[in-house]
Structure 1
């Protein structure tokens, strides 16, 4: 994934709904203009962090416009949703935040009436049909159940986190699986050159081959750090590993993969997909290349179907948590293989944890489903 970061990925969402407000010229629309969006208590996010991610994502949209996979208005909207409006929305977020800081006042991004006055809201209804088709194929009973119970008016709101790792600089009996840098035979190649040459090491081996020691035996790539096998599976799923070394936090992010698609129907240990990593300065989200990736922040960053939604969309999700109705904002700034053909899910970056128990304790109050809206600043 771009950032991939540990995704406690739960399935995707899509549901067919047509209404009097549906976009014209299509029998099925997942986003419809909502004149009366249900805004609750705007909380659980920092305006400063939202601005940081908005600013980074807008930078990508402007500097890397040749990336047609991500930089577009979206393929599931009508002409009222444009790339220009998306960029203006991201700019407006930071403009508002900075004006409020200068005025020494509470952020208006937490003010429901301000948001209603300045944004158009497009209600998202999930693609239930596709979710149920995936559920049938899945060998995971819990995953199938959750896909089959996506409400018709809510998306599947999953959460992902960056993996806090314990690691070793050298191989040990416990830490016996390497997090590998790109193989030596493509270090001098561009992404295009390396993708075109199928004889390269990266294209030859599955995850299982590498765990069995193929790279180590032939000395085909540099080990960055050494992990347990379980931690390796987790960080390959999540896309980012975070390690504390001598009091300094270091970040490792996915770089290039072996070209094998993620299979949503099987578990993490059975996946053949393998990622090579690179050390980076912070948690990173979407980007065609390592140098172009977007720096993202917990609680305000969503991963989702960038191919169809388009990078940089501002979303609001609303749900009930601990008997309180909550609304929060985040930017679509990351993606992953699990979102292919997925219009029923957003994945919220929550934080960094050592494992499932830490993650669950901190996030068990968050629901599995939420109302969702695309937001665009009014002209």
Structure 2
């Protein structure tokens, strides 16, 4: 259900810091850390000296989240329990990217990041208008892994990457029909061209049919880096997808990813910040005091060498119009603080 929000009022859920979804996300992240064979310590620790933390402290912090209790004076309560570390944005990199992009809105946003706040973008899972077969305007597909890789683990595929179909073609080549022409991969859903670019950016396609909801999540890509300076329909990166049981976040393979939830999950630079970081976001807005506790449990190509931005998962929408109506009250820039259990 899409909730329409007045610009003059924040939802109660946006001022209540502790909730069941935050607790469950903390447990899901811990489960990934404990069980996933793809886990590596550097992902948890982070590689940026300005925001580094030990794996033990990150794990202790995640374990403590479900013990937190809601009260009216939440920020004061948090300060008694946690050590807070302010995040200062990397404006040098933000301005460098702004100078190279041809998108005026992106350039303006990057140049307006304050010295003491980060850029808070928002992302959503795409409620797709799709078909199971190719027809009419539904001419672009999201594909399963190519047949020459479908039975390979991530590590096995990496060992022979120079031989695989996945690495041979750009998004533009796939859109021109190369996979179908040579029967190289199975199409999962057929979309319009606009929806395809949206799904490639958002990372998840949500398709409702016959009273069922199907989720398709990015699986592996063609190895071409995301270019922050380009618009979404200009990107050469192409993702192959896999059907999954719910919305999934961080992980190298859909079978080993973190189930995530709206309004408590952020995507960001896990390599430098560390998986599972608990972050407090606050900002005074015309709609009221925005404050949110979130966990860094997702990533994306836009966050490589990016220490000025987080991306907040806000739900599932058909497109810009309903997404904007429901989220236009949320701030673009926020104070961000890392929380670690004392």
Same fold (TM over 0.5): yes
Distance 1:241 1:48, change over 3 A: same
Structure 2's unaligned 5+ residue stretches are: 1-12
Give the one of 153, 167, 188 matched to 2:130.
167
| CA distance in 2: counterparts of 1:355 and 1:184, whole angstroms | 32
SS at match of 1:157: strand
* Cα distance per residue 1:253-284 (max 9 Å; x no partner): 00000000001111111111000000000000
Match of 1:127 in 2: 90
Closer, same or farther: CA 52–153 of 1 in aligned 2, 3 Å: same
- 1:64 CA displacement: 3.3
| Match of residue 334 from structure 2 | 370
> Which residue number corresponds to residue 181 of structure 2?
217
Q: Tell whether the 8 Å contact from 1:262 to 1:273 is kept in structure 2 after alignment.
A: yes
Alignment of 1:104-143 (within 5 A): 107-108=70-71, 111-143=74-106
Deviation at 1:367, TM superposition (A): 1.3
Which residue number in structure 2 is paired with residue 201 of structure 1?
165
Gap regions ≥5 residues in structure 1: 1-40, 101-106
Aligned-partner Cα distance in 2 for 1:200–1:76: 34
> Per the alignment, do residues 95 and 58 of structure 1 end up closer, same or farther by CA in structure 2, a change over 3 Å counting?
same
Secondary structure of the corresponding residue to residue 186 of structure 1: coil
1:52 to 2:24 alignment: yes
5 Å-filtered alignment, 1:29-108, equals 43=15, 47-64=19-36, 67-68=39-40, 71-77=43-49, 81-96=53-68, 107-108=70-71
Contact 1:45 1:300 in 2 (8 A): no
Q: Give deviations 1:215-269, integer Å, cap 9, x for gaps.
A: 1111111111111111011001110010111111110000000000001111111
Task: Provide TM-score, normalisation by structure 2.
Answer: 0.92
Kindly report which structure 2 residues correspond to 1:1-379, keeping only aligned pairs within 5 A, or say none.
43=15, 47-64=19-36, 67-68=39-40, 71-77=43-49, 81-96=53-68, 107-108=70-71, 111-197=74-160, 198-378=162-342
CA contact under 8 A between 1:61 and 1:71: conserved in structure 2?
A: no
SS of equivalent to 2:263: coil
Paired residues of 2:29 and 2:297 also in contact (CA < 8 A): yes
TM-aligned CA distance change 1:47 to 1:74, over 3 Å = same
Q: Does the 8 Å CA contact 1:49/1:297 hold for their aligned counterparts?
A: yes
Q: Secondary structure at the match of 1:95?
A: coil
Contact 1:67 1:288 in 2 (8 A): no
Deviation of 1:67 (Å): 2.9
- Classify the secondary structure of the residue corresponding to 1:72: helix
Contact 1:182 1:221 in 2 (8 A): yes
In the TM superposition, what is the alpha-carbon distance from 1:321 to its structure 2 partner? 2.9
The answer for the alignment partner of 1:4 in structure 2 is: none
Pair 1:209–1:315, CA change in 2 (3 A): same
Question: How many residues are paired up?
Answer: 329
* Separation of aligned partners in 2, 1:176 and 1:74: 41
Normalising by structure 1, report the TM-score: 0.83
Deviations 1:155-180 (A, max 9, x none): 00110000000111111021111110
Distance 1:307 1:57 in 2: 16
Q: For residues 301-328 of structure 1, what are the alpha-carbon distances to aligned partners after superposition, in whole Å with 9 as ceiling and x for unaligned?
A: 0000000001000001101233412211
Q: Name the CA distance, whole Å, in 2 between partners of 1:73 and 1:287.
A: 16
The verdict on how the C-alpha distance between 1:232 and 1:323 changes in structure 2, with shifts beyond 3 A counting, is closer
Task: Tell me the CA shift for residue 79 of structure 1.
Answer: 9.7
